[in-house]
Amino acid sequence: MYKAFITDIDGTLTDNRRRLSTKAVEEIRRLIDADIPVVLASGNTLCFLDCLSHMIGTDGNVIAENGGVYRKGFLGTRTVAGNKELCMRAYEKIRETVCPKEGELRLFSAELRHSDVAFSRDVSIEKVDEIIAGMGVIAVDTGFAIHLHTPGLSKGAAFEKLAAEMGISPSDFLAAGDSVNDVSMLKLAGFSVVPSNGTSDAKASASAVLDEPYGDAVAKALREFF
């Protein structure tokens, strides 16, 4: 039996319209009520995760910005890594190269981010990689946005540190994710699942690929494993 659960949100607890699975929420609440720790891990901002954690009912253990920010509990110390200023310089170079006349590549919650930069998927990841080559920044396409962060940051790296603060081994976690930014987290956990909508690299990194897509499939897995 696993002692804790760590999960991505978009595409894992939600569907392709970003609607949260109520079945997954019910199962996560069941874990919380049984004193089983839950960690929400996302490319989204810390304030978004705070709101979601409160509404789902978790204890506030979160990994935000794809590992650039993490925190144990709502009252814990926020840990921030990376170099947002460098990421912004890379974003500006991308914007100037791709759309100097057509307008902006839409930034997502730029003023609320501490570590990375996220923007709309209006340019291919291959083109982004070409533009930022040599700038000391990595680009990740999560399927919902393109993120820029400095090397060494990942959900898995933050997961390892957060688990240590929680006093739980990563091998005692069940993990769920669906995309390339979840791979490091999926590999580190004791057992990991990916819904059928997951990307090929996420599926290749998982212990099991679920028969169904999105959050309802994860809810079913939680009933089985916990």
Instruction: Please give the order of strands across the beta sheet that includes 191-194.
Output: 79-80, 69-71, 61-64, 38-41, 4-7, 173-176, 191-194, 208-209
Q: Which residue has the higher pLDDT, 97 or 1?
A: 97
Q: What pLDDT score does 111 carry?
A: 95
Ordered domains of the chain (ranges, CATH): 4-80+153-225 (3.40.50.1000), 84-149 (3.90.1070.10)
106-128 per-position pLDDT tens digit: 999 999 999 999 999 999 999 99
Average pLDDT, the chain: 96
The per-residue pLDDT for 139 is: 97
pLDDT tens readout for residues 152-166? 999 999 999 999 999
Give the alpha-carbon dihedral of 183, 186, 187, 188, to 10 degrees. 120
At 1, is the pLDDT very low, low, confident or very high (cuts 50, 70, 90)?
A: confident
Asked whether residue 196 carries a pLDDT value surpassing 90, the answer given is yes
pTM of the model: 0.95
HSE-CB of 35 using CA atoms within 13 angstroms: 0
What pLDDT, on a 0 to 100 scale, did the predictor assign at position 108? 95
Q: Which helix (H) or strand (E) holds 90?
A: helix 84-98
What does the DSSP 8-state code read for residue 108?
Answer: S
When pLDDT is averaged across residues 4-32 and rounded to a whole number, the result is 97
Query: Ramachandran region of residue 30, left (φ > 0), alpha (ψ -120 to 50) or beta?
Result: alpha
Known catalytic residues?
8
Instruction: State pLDDT tens for residues 65-102.
Output: 999 999 999 999 999 999 999 999 999 999 999 886 66
Rounded CA-CA distance 9/179 in Å is 11
Amino acid at 110: A
Give pLDDT, residue 101.
Answer: 60
Residue 103 banded pLDDT, cuts 50, 70, 90: low
What is the mean predicted confidence (pLDDT) over 211-222?
97
Q: Which residue type sits at 176? A: A
pLDDT at site 106: 92
The answer, yes or no, to whether residue 208 has pLDDT greater than 70, is yes
Q: φ and ψ at 62, to 5 degrees?
A: -140, 150
Residue 119 φ then ψ, to 5°: -145, 170
